[in-house]
Amino acid sequence: MAVCLVTGAAGFVGSHLAERLTAEGHTVRGIDAFIPYYPRALKEDNLVTVRTRENFTFHEADLRTADLNPMLEGVDVVFHLAAQAGLRRSWSEFDSYMSCNIQATQRLLEAAVAHKIDHFINISTSSVYGRFATGNEESPLEPVSPYGITKLAAEMLCRAYEQNFGLPITICR
């Protein structure tokens, strides 16, 4: 079984992913910064089930500033779900979106390369397609919000780390 790091583990998708991975026998380290886009109580509730599992540990940490080395020690697979979400708010809080969605991703990619992670799975968004998020993965990438732009930039960073450092990357939208 794999040792998995799930960033954004207190979010809806991240918590369900952690539940599934632990149920399948994988060891999961969850990270979340509890950025106040969603109420903390809601995110704490998302963790109630998975926190009872012996093969799950949780770290409240901000990927932009935390020492990522101890969290990545011995990890096989990174599931990167952490992000600053929200289309509308991205217009007024652009610096936060830049730091959460781009800088945090870059720091995590650097740490993944240093720790020779087997696979880095980046969870992106349909917002990279633009106003009409329909079609397939060959559709043009035309984000129309700072949120979509920062998530596309994170995807491009992932591809750059794959090409330059051989880090196996999967991007899910």
pLDDT tens column, 22-31: 999 999 999 9
Share of the chain above pLDDT 90, in %: 84
What's the pLDDT tens digit per position in 81-108? 999 998 788 989 999 999 999 999 999 9
In this prediction, residue 137 carries a pLDDT of 80
Residue 37 has pLDDT above 90, yes or no: no
Which pLDDT value is given to residue 171? 97
At 136, the pLDDT band (50, 70, 90 cuts) reads: confident
Residues counted in the chain: 173
* CATH code at position 142: 3.40.50.720
Q: Model-level pTM? A: 0.95
Residues 6+ apart with CB under 8 A from 18: 6, 9, 28, 30, 50, 56
pLDDT band at 17 (very low <50, low <70, confident <90, very high): very high
Cβ contacts of 157 within 8 Å, gap of 6 or more:
102, 105, 106, 109
Range of the domain at 150: 3-172
Instruction: Quote the pLDDT of residue 105.
Output: 99
| Residue found by looking up tokens 């491009």 in the block | 156
CB 78 within 8 A of CB 130: no
- 74, 117 in Cβ contact below 8 A? no
By annotation, the residues acting in catalysis are: 147
Average pLDDT, the chain: 95
Q: Find residue 4's DSSP bridge partners.
A: 28, 77
pLDDT at 135 over 90: no
In whole angstroms, give the CA distance from residue 9 to residue 134: 27
Q: Compute the average pLDDT of residues 131-153.
A: 86
Q: What pLDDT, on a 0 to 100 scale, did the predictor assign at position 140? A: 83
Cα Rg of the chain (Å, integer) = 16
What is the total count of domains within the chain? 1
40 C-beta neighbours (distance < 10 Å), count:
12
